């Protein structure tokens, strides 16, 4: 049975401070002083501090920041026998001289134990990482990445020891080795340099590290819905719970994806039957799959333009004419094969080959005799215009708004003094209007 430690508070300094605050015209306001003391004691009594080391402190800090009941998580250093460690010093001491005990990258967690119990917090620590790896965590090697738990009171020590025994049994059953976690009383925590605090929040191209064993204290009763290869080309987005970068990628990119290559999002454990070359050690991980096999993978947040550039390479091929036009600003040859196919299509629209967005309508198409597809205008909001002074000419470039693909140029020489959107056919796909209407009804 776990016992809650009773913490005593010295309220005399608080009393003196409160008394100085609530004196009115020489009269002591006892009612306000008592209320102030009660609120202060309540807040202080509910707050505990514990320090965890689970590999690189960036991801550990982010993990605990996301737990309800945690009031503060700070990256820093603990567990060593020298004072005032710095990031450089901790890295240097990975091959420490005799008698030097290096600090490990750690996170100081302050929590309200009326909202999250010590047991729940410590269990989340065990489940967060692989505590059997000694002086490393994943690809991060060195004694500064060792697993550690530094407790501040008897309750935390009891919880740490009892949950460690329970977790060891679960790990052994799952085929893992012996827990190597350093469990000791906290001597001193040294906050890390400012640039390490909230690091993943400050760096938009970061990722959420994943060093978990997958072993849970209480296995989820929820059945994992697995996904298997579709055949052909597809895009997998591997995400995780409480991953801020995954949420950001979904909001900024995948929620607006209209491409023709199927895109699916799933947790790592849901993937079945795929041949992956990359280890999934962080989220989001974007995996480009062909016939069940990984072609390429990228881990970390990716902005929309970079994502579509990768999609373009995957769909069109890095050596293709379409990729050269879209992302190297090349130009189709006059009267090219694709142009010949597209100049007399039936009623419909032309989509961006990369993003799937509708860019042009056959209602606005006309035969300019130039050898390139010509339109009076693009679909409203689908393209952007940019001054292009390349090749010694002053032109206006047309770019697909979402994918950033180069489409062609606009000139003021269409019939009736209108604009002529001169567009490369190899970056477009034609869709009959009937199909567009069917998709809109889904």
**243 assigned to active site:** no
- Residues 51, 163: Cα–Cα separation, whole Å: 16
What secondary structure letter does DSSP report for 275? B
- Residues 82, 208: Cα–Cα separation, whole Å: 31
- Residues 48, 111: Cα–Cα separation, whole Å: 5
In 171-270 the beta strands, taken as DSSP E runs, fall at 182-185, 190-191, 208-209, 233-239, 263-267
DSSP string, 16-77: HHHHHHSEETTEE-HHHHHHHHHHHHHHHHTEEEEEEE-SSHHHHHHHHHTSTTEEEEEEEE
Question: Which of 72, 74, 75 minimizes the C-alpha distance to 57?
Answer: 75
Contact 218, 170 (CB under 8 A): no
Residue 280 three-state SS: coil
Cα→Cα distances 213→68, 126, 175, 279, Å: 23, 9, 10, 13
Contact 91, 142 (CB under 8 A): yes
Annotated catalytic residue within 56, 243, 336, 422:
56
Cα→Cα distances 169→135, 146, 173, Å: 22, 21, 6
In 253-326 the beta strands, taken as DSSP E runs, fall at 263-267, 282-283, 285-290, 293-299
Side by side, the strands of the sheet bearing 428-432 are: 358-361, 348-352, 428-432
Cis peptide before 284 (omega within 30 of 0): yes
What secondary structure letter does DSSP report for 273? S
Contact 69, 116 (CB under 8 A): yes
- Residues 109, 304: Cα–Cα separation, whole Å: 35
Active site residues: 56
């Amino acid at each position: 049975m776990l016992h809650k430690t009773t913490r005593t508070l010295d309220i005399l300094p608080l009393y003196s401070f409160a008394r100085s605050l609530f004196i009115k015209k020489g009269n002591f306001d006892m009612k306000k002083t008592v209320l102030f003391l009660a609120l202060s004691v309540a807040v202080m009594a509910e707050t505990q501090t514990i320090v965890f080391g689970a590999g690189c402190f960036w991801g550990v800090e982010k993990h605990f920041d996301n737990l309800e009941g945690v009031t503060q998580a700070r990256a820093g250093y603990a567990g060593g026998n020298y004072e005032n460690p710095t990031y450089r010093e901790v890295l240097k001491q990975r091959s420490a001289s005799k008698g030097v005990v290096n600090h490990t990258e750690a996170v100081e967690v302050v929590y309200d134990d009326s909202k999250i119990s010590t047991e729940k917090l410590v269990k989340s620590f065990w489940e967060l990482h692989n505590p059997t790896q000694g002086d490393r965590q994943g690809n991060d090697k060195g004694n500064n990445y060792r697993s550690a738990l530094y407790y501040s009171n008897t309750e935390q020590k009891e919880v740490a020891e009892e949950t460690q025994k329970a977790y060891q049994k679960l790990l052994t059953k799952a085929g893992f080795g012996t827990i190597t976690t350093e469990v000791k009383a906290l001597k001193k925590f040294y906050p890390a340099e400012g640039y390490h605090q909230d690091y993943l929040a400050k760096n938009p191209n970061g990722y959420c590290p994943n060093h978990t064993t997958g072993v849970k204290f209480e296995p989820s009763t929820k059945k994992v819905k697995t996904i298997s290869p579709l055949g052909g080309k597809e895009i997998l987005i591997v995400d995780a719970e409480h991953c801020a970068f995954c949420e950001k990628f979904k909001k900024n990119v995948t929620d607006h994806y209209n491409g023709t290559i199927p895109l699916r999002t799933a947790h790592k454990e849901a993937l079945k039957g795929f041949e992956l070359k990359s280890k999934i050690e962080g989220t989001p991980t974007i995996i480009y799959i062909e016939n069940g096999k990984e072609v390429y993978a990228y881990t970390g947040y990716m902005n929309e333009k970079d994502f579509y550039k990768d999609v373009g390479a995957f769909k069109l091929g890095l050596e293709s004419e379409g990729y050269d036009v879209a992302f190297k600003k090349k130009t189709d040859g006059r009267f090219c094969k694709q142009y010949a196919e597209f100049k007399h299509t039936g009623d419909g629209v032309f989509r961006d080959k990369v993003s799937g967005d509708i860019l042009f309508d056959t209602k606005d198409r006309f035969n300019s005799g130039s050898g390139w597809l010509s339109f009076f205008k693009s679909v409203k909001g689908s393209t952007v215009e940019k001054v292009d002074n390349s090749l010694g000419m002053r032109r206006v470039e047309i770019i697909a708004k979402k994918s950033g693909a180069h489409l062609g140029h606009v000139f003021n020489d269409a019939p009736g003094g209108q604009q002529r959107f001169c567009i490369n056919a190899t970056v477009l796909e034609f869709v009959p209007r009937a199909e567009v209407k069917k998709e809109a009804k889904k």
